[in-house]
């Protein structure tokens, strides 16, 4: 799952640093991801994992790190 998350971040996160250099707990917003880019990441995650993020998960903290995204996707996919 992490590899897929990182691929989506690389393609849609518009980060000024290489995704491979970002740690699982590193703040993606501090690394340069904008709120607009996070929406693009969310939409790509929904497409890739065939899920829909509920309104309660539509907050900055859900997408602030690879680890946070993994936890959210785990809740949505049951894995």
Q: How confident is the model at residue 16 (pLDDT cuts 50, 70, 90)?
A: very high
What are 11's two structure tokens? Answer: 């393609």
Say whether pLDDT at 12 is over 90.
yes
CATH superfamily placement of domain 2-77: ACP-like (1.10.1200.10)
Q: Which of 16, 20, 25 is nearest to 3 (CA)?
A: 20
Q: Is the pTM of this model over 0.75?
A: yes
Residues 19-47 pLDDT 10s? 999 999 999 999 999 999 999 999 999 99
What is the structure's pLDDT at 79?
A: 79
């Amino acid at each position: 799952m992490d590899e897929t998350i990182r691929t989506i971040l690389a393609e849609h996160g518009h980060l000024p640093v290489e995704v491979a250099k970002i740690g699982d707990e590193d703040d993606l917003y501090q690394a340069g991801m904008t709120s607009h880019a996070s929406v693009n990441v969310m939409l790509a995650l929904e497409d890739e994992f065939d899920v829909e993020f509920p309104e309660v998960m539509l907050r900055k903290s859900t997408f602030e790190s690879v680890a946070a995204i993994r936890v959210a996707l785990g809740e949505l996919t049951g894995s």
